């Protein structure tokens, strides 16, 4: 293995101070190639294929009828449903992520306190985290059922509504519930991440604030929040990416309907695929551009810039 040219070259470039001469002689290639190949085949290729498909004429059976230029992009941007889909996607992402972060801050603070049953109650959060999001969404769809949904029953009994509603039947009623469920499934990860962040705050800092006579709220705002910033930012961007891409919540509850009234871009591109693959690809490319912006944002807020000097 060591007489391969690639191996020898990489070995010479490695930093000389490390105390592992044997490993330095091994090139990275045999170790990393399987991972790189898998990523190329299943992540990079589809991304390229998506762009290519958006520039072709492809019928519903999948047959390619040659180049289409930007025709499919024009078709997409002329689609009367698109403005509403884009607006809803933006509102959806901002509202779900915003609420998730706010509620998680409070929940992390709560579960960081000492009280009877802290461990048990924390464990309850695992269910929505571990269970498939699709199934949680289907569970809520059933609980919101107009005839036999337990939430309809509960809201009636509490006098909050005067008759059973078809909560997932129209966009106006469905959207708040979609947001609720998306926040519900995002809270466990976010709360746990912030909890991990809270645990890195040294106790002396709180003691110092206490000695200086700071109130509880002052301590939280001036001491806890700034120290929580790294964990908060990472959770924020991970949530942005997850919520923007979220498919199962909407699919499980309304399938993007009625029409495309509750569809975000990811749901809309799945709906489009049924009758125009290339237009769906154009939607995917637009969607993917937003994802790339978010990834760049992540790299900025994470410590990637500082790693190598």
Residue ranges in 257-286 that form contacts with another protein under rule CB under 8 A: 266, 269-270, 273, 277, 280-281, 284
Q: Evaluate whether 6 touches 27 at the Cβ level (below 8 Å).
A: yes
* Distance separating alpha carbons of residues 2 and 27, to the nearest angstrom: 8
* Distance separating alpha carbons of residues 188 and 113, to the nearest angstrom: 17
Residue 55: CB minimum distance to another protein, A: 12
Residue 185: CB minimum distance to another protein, A: 10
Residue 297: CB minimum distance to another protein, A: 10
Q: Which one-letter DSSP state was computed for residue 17?
A: T
- Of 6, 121, 218, 259, the one binding another protein (CB under 8 A) is 121
Q: Which is nearer to another protein, 38 or 94 (CB)?
A: 38
Q: Which is nearer to another protein, 173 or 247 (CB)?
A: 247
Does the footprint of another protein cover residue 201 (CB under 8 A)? no
Residue 189: CB minimum distance to another protein, A: 7
Q: Evaluate whether 50 touches 285 at the Cβ level (below 8 Å).
A: yes
- Of 66, 80, 117, 159, the one binding another protein (CB under 8 A) is 117
- Letters for 48-67 (x = contact with another protein by CB under 8 A, - = none) are xxx-xx--------x-----
Does the footprint of another protein cover residue 77 (CB under 8 A)? no
Does the footprint of another protein cover residue 86 (CB under 8 A)? no
- Of 2, 4, 8, 28, the one binding another protein (CB under 8 A) is 28
Residue 245: CB minimum distance to another protein, A: 4
Residue 251: CB minimum distance to another protein, A: 8
* Distance separating alpha carbons of residues 265 and 13, to the nearest angstrom: 46
* Distance separating alpha carbons of residues 115 and 163, to the nearest angstrom: 40
Q: Which is nearer to another protein, 171 or 243 (CB)?
A: 243
Q: Evaluate whether 262 touches 254 at the Cβ level (below 8 Å).
A: yes
Q: Which one-letter DSSP state was computed for residue 82?
A: H
Burial of 227 (0-12, 13-18, 19+ CB in 10 A): middle
Q: Considering only residues 169-188, where is the footprint of another protein by CB under 8 A?
A: 184, 187-188
Bridge partners for 268 per DSSP: none
Does the footprint of another protein cover residue 251 (CB under 8 A)? yes
Residue 261: CB minimum distance to another protein, A: 19
Would you put residue 14 in left (φ > 0), alpha (ψ -120 to 50) or beta?
beta
Q: Considering only residues 229-248, where is the footprint of another protein by CB under 8 A?
A: 230-231, 234-235, 238, 241-242, 245-248
Residue linked to tokens 């929040």:
225
- Of 55, 71, 128, 220, the one binding another protein (CB under 8 A) is 128
Strands 56-58 and 64-67, sheet pairing: antiparallel
Q: Considering only residues 134-163, where is the footprint of another protein by CB under 8 A?
A: 134-136, 138-143, 147-150, 152-153
* Distance separating alpha carbons of residues 123 and 191, to the nearest angstrom: 12
Q: Which is nearer to another protein, 38 or 91 (CB)?
A: 38
Under 8 Å CB-to-CB from 258, ≥6 apart: which residues?
Answer: 169, 170, 171
| HSE-up of residue 67 (Cα within 13 Å, Cβ side) | 2
# residues near another protein by CB under 8 A = 111
């Amino acid at each position: 293995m060591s007489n391969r040219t690639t191996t020898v070259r990489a070995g010479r470039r490695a930093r000389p101070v490390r105390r592992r001469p044997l490993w330095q002689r091994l090139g990275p290639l045999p170790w990393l190639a399987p991972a790189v190949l898998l990523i190329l085949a299943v992540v990079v290729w589809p991304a390229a294929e998506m762009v290519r498909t958006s520039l072709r004429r492809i019928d519903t059976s999948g047959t390619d009828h040659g180049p289409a230029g930007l025709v499919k992009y024009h078709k997409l941007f002329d689609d009367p449903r698109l403005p509403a889909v884009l607006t809803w996607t933006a509102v959806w992402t901002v509202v779900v992520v915003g609420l998730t972060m706010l509620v998680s801050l409070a929940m992390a603070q709560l579960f960081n306190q000492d009280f009877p049953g802290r461990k048990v109650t924390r464990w309850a959060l695992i269910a929505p985290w571990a269970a498939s999001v699709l199934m949680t969404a289907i569970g809520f769809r059933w609980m919101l059922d107009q005839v036999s949904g337990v939430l309809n029953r509960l809201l009636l009994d509490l006098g909050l509504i005067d008759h059973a509603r078809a909560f997932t039947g129209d966009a106006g009623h469905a959207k708040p519930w979609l947001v609720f469920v998306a926040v519900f499934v995002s809270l466990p990860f976010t709360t746990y991440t912030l909890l991990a962040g809270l645990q890195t705050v040294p106790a002396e800092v709180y003691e110092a604030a206490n000695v200086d006579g700071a109130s509880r709220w002052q301590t939280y705002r001036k001491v806890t929040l700034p120290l929580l910033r790294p964990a908060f930012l990472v959770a924020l961007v991970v949530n942005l990416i997850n919520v923007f891409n979220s498919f199962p919540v909407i699919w499980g509850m309304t399938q993007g309907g009625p029409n495309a009234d509750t569809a975000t871009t990811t749901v809309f591109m799945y709906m489009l695929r049924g009758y125009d693959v290339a237009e769906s690809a154009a939607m995917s490319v637009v969607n993917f551009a937003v994802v790339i912006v978010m990834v760049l944002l992540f790299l900025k807020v994470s410590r990637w810039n500082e790693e190598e000097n």
